[in-house]
Amino acid sequence: MFRYSKDKVTVLSVLDTRRPKSDGKYPIKIQVCFARKQKYYSTSKTMTPEEWRKMPTSKAHYIVGIREDVEASFNIIRDAVKDLTDAGCFSFTALNTRLSGAMTGTINTAFVARIEAFRNAGQIGSAYIAKTALLAFERFAGKEIPFSDVTPTWLQRYENYEKGRGLRQTTISIYLRQLRTIMYEARTEGVIKESDNPFGKGKFSIKGGEGRKMALTIEQIGKMARYSGDATLEKYRDYWMFLYLCNGINVADLARLKFKNMYDGEISFVRRKTERTSSTRKEIRVIVTEPMRDIIRRRGNSPEPENFIFPILSGKEKDEEHIRSRCAEFTYLTNKYTSKLGEMLGIGKITTYVARHSFATVLKRSGTNIAYISEALGHSDLKTTENYLACFEREEREKNAMLLTDFPECPPADNE
């Protein structure tokens, strides 16, 4: 009765007479044919074969009502097929995704699906970032943000809004990259057309973060290592030093280190950040130096194979979200007290990130081969390490340039 065809995709309303309902009637469905395959979509309406034959011309109130409902269902599927074929990306998977409402409803529902997918995959950190981004966009535009609202102008207004709230460009860019992924997925699934994607060349461009990767000099690290005084500052100084000495290890990896990871004078581990993405799991091996052993003796648990080296985790955490929470708490305290120590020593703010950056730059400035630094950091290739170190090289150039005009104080010339 209702029929539409475009680019070898056909949509039509049919009476499915394969299996009758309990009342003897048959379901009316919308059939989609493509590449010699058929898919059927329910209209929730039923008819007898006789009623079906009469439906195109009947004026009976009952049949007219069903005809209008079937036409409405047909139009929804026809419009979805039209949009997908116009975008050149029709597939039954894309059609089902579009009709399911997972992507078609709002940006919000797409974010919720993304967050749930991360959680199901055990990627709690990624789920947390996506959740935080969603909350930021909802604060700006509400609980129901249509895909059609997200334009280059909308994105610029959002960026200005967050800047007005005092949010750093680095954080704004993280949120916008999450949204960009959502929009790219929507384009791939045919939910939006390529022309409706607000990101890309000649459209909205995500700015880079303004924050620099601060790295300490070996002299500054020495001042930290020699500090003696407040017990709490010493404790978190020790943890920071271990992060630095252990190849700039991340807190998430440090927290999970067990004594069984220590053998033959080395610590061996795989970075959680890359274990799901790298084609080959890269094992990082770190020589356990005497300063590291001293820190373990002062701050560590009893040396049983299944014990965590440090009491960051108890082993009783219920799930990955609880583990992440404990790691975040440890990071907060370490940053708080090492920054306080840094201010006391005239170094400035010191964080756990600075430990990793310092490890890399101290080796680089000492002439260590970049290939070794790359392996020690657990990077997948040398290019990643070169990009990582590039910002420090600029800092060094800027500092050296300033030396050219660092003239010594001279007494005024005697003109008499």
- Tens digit of each residue's pLDDT (9 = 90 or more) over 173-200: 999 999 999 998 888 767 777 888 899 8
Kindly tell me the burial class for residue 383, based on how many C-beta atoms sit within 10 Å of its own C-beta (0-12, 13-18, 19 or more).
exposed
Other CB atoms within 10 Å distance of the CB of residue 76: 15
For the cut 60, the answer to whether the pLDDT of residue 400 exceeds it is: no
Tokens representing 405 are 């005009």
Distance CA(89)–CA(97), nearest Å, equals 13
> What is the 3-state composition of the chain as percent helix, strand, coil, each rounded to the nearest 5?
55, 10, 35
**Residue pLDDT, tens place only, 257-314:** 999 999 988 898 888 776 655 555 678 888 899 999 999 999 999 999 999 999 999 8
Q: What is the largest CA-CA distance in the chain?
A: 123
Classified as helix, coil or strand, 233 is: helix
pTM for this prediction: 0.57
Tokens representing 197 are 């994607």
User: In 305-365, which ranges are continuous DSSP H helix?
Assistant: 320-344, 352-365
Mean pLDDT of the 65-82 span = 89
Residue bearing tokens 């039209």: 82
Mean pLDDT of the 18-37 span = 91
Which run of H or E residues covers position 286? strand 283-287
Q: What angle do CA 211, 212, 218 make, to 5 degrees?
A: 145
Of 219, 208, 228, 254, nearest in space to 352 by CA: 254
pLDDT band at 17 (very low <50, low <70, confident <90, very high): very high
Tokens representing 211 are 């924050």
For the cut 60, the answer to whether the pLDDT of residue 212 exceeds it is: no
Lowest-confidence pick of 50-59, 80-89, 230-239, 275-284: 275-284
User: Which residues are CB-neighbours of 1 under 8 A, at least 6 positions away?
Assistant: 12, 13, 55, 56, 67, 70
Q: What angle do CA 47, 50, 51 make, to 5 degrees?
A: 45
Give the type of residue at 127.
A
Q: What is the pLDDT of residue 142?
A: 92
Q: Sheet of 266-270: strands edge to edge?
A: 262-263, 266-270, 283-287
Lowest-confidence pick of 16-25, 134-143, 332-341: 16-25
Mean pLDDT of the 109-115 span = 83
Kindly tell me the burial class for residue 90, based on how many C-beta atoms sit within 10 Å of its own C-beta (0-12, 13-18, 19 or more).
buried
Mean pLDDT of the 44-63 span = 91
Pairing relationship of beta strands 3-6 and 9-15 according to DSSP bridges: antiparallel
Of 200, 218, 219, nearest in space to 155 by CA: 200
The domains of the chain, with CATH numbers, are 3-100 (no CATH), 107-111+119-196 (no CATH), 218-403 (1.10.443.10)
**Residue pLDDT, tens place only, 320-364:** 878 888 999 999 999 999 999 999 999 988 999 899 888 888 888
Q: Sheet of 26-34: strands edge to edge?
A: 3-6, 9-15, 26-34, 37-47
Other CB atoms within 10 Å distance of the CB of residue 147: 20
Residue 287, beta-bridge partner list: 266
First-last CA distance in the chain:
111
